[in-house]
Structure 1
Amino acid sequence: MTGGTDEIALSKQDLREVTAFAAACAEVVLALFEADQPGDSRPRDAVGAAWEFARGGERGKALRDTAFAALKAAKDADSAAAREAAWAAMSAAGAAYLHPLAKATQVKHILGAAAHAARAAELAAGDDRSVGAESLGRTVRRATPVVVDVLRRFPAAPGGGGRVGELIRVLDAELRSLTLAE
């Protein structure tokens, strides 16, 4: 999946590992959305589609449709924590579409689900930033060597994006600083 000098080499297995990581991050906060919107399975469906791809399925309509549906579910949520949880699910399904472009914005495909999940946890705890830091700590431990290797192929996360962008940059820096056994 590479061609030009501005492209990053990404295998299908790389995409599957990144998507599994994103799905695991989003899955942790699904209950926040479901408590806010009982009976609305759209975010859970998005995480399920992400897991399906991560476990050998193909990228395609189910991922795109469930990601879009989770985005719509976020708009229907009553609480900010539930919205962030739905965005985490949308990001998990979207992780399969990490583009092999050497652009900092692509880091959001790798770390977006984790950052939205951390923000959802913060908001559910009354905007307690220590809860977000704890969530990021668990995320760092969840990251596989493949996920860290893929992340390191891209430029550092871009500025902006409010609190979620800040969480992405913190997580990006922490993961890049890891010493991994090869």
Structure 2
Amino acid sequence: MILAKERDPRLITLRRGGTLTDADHHLLALWAATCAEHVLHLFESECPDDPRPREAIEAARAWTRGELKMMEARTLGGHAMGAARPLRGAARNAAYAAGQAGVVAHVAAHDLGAAAYAIKAVRDAAPPGRAPGVPLAAGAAPGPRPRARPRRPADPQRHLLGGLRMSDRDR
């Protein structure tokens, strides 16, 4: 599941009781469209004659310009997700990313779905044993994924918001 069960009021429009302005809702839709567009080639390389994911991305952008009604963008997003269903791997997740971008006009929180599916598409497209987005040196054999750096233990003297050290008199 991509979206949380409890909706964040920051992703609910003002007219529905949340705090999201129309201008910010449009920005989220544009961001979601950009996320999906970055991986669209993974779908189009497998299904070059299926325009549905590309149409959903354009629908999200058209909605932000006032050229398309919310229900039209939502419908095109649903069609893109229909294009994803019979597929597997990167192509499927790329189509889902586009579909999620298309439905942001309806529910702003789908912007997170577009980003999450785009990330999944990139991961699925990476060759086995190689981290996504890391170029392979010429002639080098792919090695194991680099290990994540261990997290430093929390320093109780650091302030959470600014990284400022608390002085002895503040404790």
Measured against the shorter chain, the TM-score band is 0.5 to 0.7
Counting matched residue pairs gives 125
Deviation at 1:130, TM superposition (A): 3.4
Deviation at 1:76, TM superposition (A): 2.9
Question: Which of the numbers 63, 73, 78 marks the counterpart of 1:68?
Answer: 78
Deviation at 1:98, TM superposition (A): 2.6
* Aligned-partner residue type, residue 59 of structure 1: K
Consecutive aligned runs of 4 or more in structure 1 exceeding 4 Å deviation: none
Change (3 A) 1:128 1:28: farther
Question: Which of the numbers 97, 100, 104 marks the counterpart of 1:95?
Answer: 104
* Aligned-partner residue type, residue 64 of structure 1: R
TM-score (norm 2): 0.63
CA contact (8 A) 2:70 2:105 kept: no
* Aligned-partner residue type, residue 66 of structure 1: L
Paired with 2:103 and 2:72, the residues of 1 have a C-alpha distance of 11
CA contact (8 A) 1:29 1:121 kept: yes
Listed as ranges, the gaps of 5+ residues in structure 1 are: 100-105, 135-176
2:169 matched to which residue of 1? none
Greater gyration radius: 2
Paired with 1:57 and 1:34, the residues of 2 have a C-alpha distance of 25
Q: Is 1:56 aligned to 2:66, yes or no?
A: yes
Change (3 A) 1:58 1:9: farther
Deviations, residues 126-151 of structure 1 (Å, cap 9, x unaligned): 3668327x8xxxxxxxxxxxxxxxxx
Deviations, residues 149-168 of structure 1 (Å, cap 9, x unaligned): xxxxxxxxxxxxxxxxxxxx
CA contact (8 A) 1:15 1:98 kept: no
* Aligned-partner residue type, residue 92 of structure 2: R
1:122 matched to which residue of 2? 123
2:132 matched to which residue of 1? 131
CA contact (8 A) 1:19 1:96 kept: yes
Q: State the superposition RMSD in angstroms.
A: 2.7
1:80 matched to which residue of 2? 89
More helix by share: 1
Paired with 1:23 and 1:65, the residues of 2 have a C-alpha distance of 15
* Aligned-partner residue type, residue 80 of structure 1: G
* Aligned-partner residue type, residue 57 of structure 2: V
* Aligned-partner residue type, residue 47 of structure 1: I
CA contact (8 A) 1:122 1:129 kept: no
Q: Percent identity?
A: 38
Listed as ranges, the gaps of 5+ residues in structure 2 are: 1-12, 135-159, 163-171
Paired with 2:22 and 2:63, the residues of 1 have a C-alpha distance of 10
